Every structure is written in C-alpha cells, then in structure tokens.
Amino acid sequence: MELQDTAETKRLRTQMVQLQVADQGITDPRVLVAMEKVPRHWFCPPGTSLQDAYGDHPLPIGWGATISQPWIVADMLQQLQLTGNEFVLEVGTGSGYNAALLGQLAQSVITVEIVPELAMRAKEVLHRSNYTNVIVHHGDGSLGWAASSPYHAIIVTAGAPAVPEVLANQLSIGGRMVIPVGDRQTQQLHILRKTATGLLLTVHSRCRFVLLHGQEGWQ
C-alpha cells in the first residue's frame, strides 16, 4: 500500500515544525527543512490519529519504545551539526523516524535496533519511503556497529548509565556523539567531540528517554 502524504498532513507537519520546534529555539535550517519533509505519521503505529502523530509529546510504538517529542528529536539532531557529508551511526532505530531525518541530513546512515520486531517494521517503512541511504540492522546497539566504523557522528536515542567506551572508539577524530546519560528516571544530554587527545564533553539539557538496553546499557 502506498504511503500517503496529503495537504492536511503537510499542514500539520508545517504547524508542528513552526510551533513545537522553531518557536522553541531550534535554529538549524537543515534540521527544520528535514522535519518539514519527513512525514512523521508514516512511522507511527497503525491507528494513530494525525493529532497524536503530530502532537507535542512522545508517542509509544510498542515494546517499551517511543517516538520522542518533536522538539527533543530536533534538539539532538541540531547538536550533531551535520552538514550533509557525514557517515552516521544511530543507536536505537525505534520507529525509523529519526533515521529518516538523518537520511535527509547525512550522506549515509547505519541504524541498529535491539528489538527485532521494531527493526523489521522500521526497515520496511524506510524502504517504502525510499531512504536508500539508511541501513537498518538488528543487534545490540550499545556495542555500536564496529564493522562499518568509524563514524563522523553517533546519536543514541535511549538513556544510558554512562557513555559506552565502545561507541566512543567507533567515532572518528573530529566526530560528535549525542547521548542521554543518567539514571533510570532522568538523564542529561551529553554532547561529546572526539579529538586526537580524547573526548571533550558538554552537558546539555535535562531529558527523559526509554532505557538503553544491551551489554553496555541497562541490564
């Protein structure tokens, strides 16, 4: 079945980007354009209303996962400072929505999902959406995807107890990583830049994500 993007969904998307994203301090024009282009409702569970698909809140997608609130999605992408030439790793594919946005913002994307059902569903929607520069893998994303490393940028879409060293090792010199770090209830967004002598850390806004599961996440 063909994915639909009507005048109404385009209107809701424009409204979402303006009111929930741009008016709330997101200024990166490439992020704003990408969010205008990608139909968020394509990545929501069947039966989701358009009001929920474009609402100012996270949205459950099953298996304990969510599509994050539009603002936090935009904020994380803005912190990556992508220019369009990067090779990006995403840890936690979820619905595939963030991967689709990354597909607009970067040259190519590897995304890893630990829940097989979510990985399969995201892979199907991304394929039907013609995101040929996004590859979905099922696996333990807390370990990254070493076979394709190094990456210019890494984004982790689940809360971790600490920055996994294995992910830092897969980041290229000059690359950036965005990851929520904290306890099981709340985290703070950590932005790391890798230099020849180590990692430079900036602690950004407070946030709340589902937990990062896997060998280097929460057990």
Q: Which residues are catalytic?
A: 68
Q: Please tell me the distance from the alpha carbon of residue 82 to that of residue 212, in angstroms, as a whole number.
A: 24
Q: With residue 202 as reference, give the H or E element that holds it.
A: strand 198-207
Cα angle 64-68-85, degrees, rounded to a multiple of 5: 120
- Calculate Rg over the CA atoms of the chain: 16
**Exposed, middle or buried by CB within 10 Å (0-12, 13-18, 19+), for 147?**
exposed
Helix axes 70-80 and 97-105, enclosed angle (nearest 10): 30
Q: Please tell me the distance from the alpha carbon of residue 67 to that of residue 55, in angstroms, as a whole number.
A: 11
C-beta separation of 27 from 78 below 8 A: yes
Q: Please tell me the distance from the alpha carbon of residue 215 to that of residue 219, in angstroms, as a whole number.
A: 7
Among candidates 215, 214, 205, 148, which has minimal Cα distance to 181?
A: 205
Tokens 């076979």 — which residue? 147
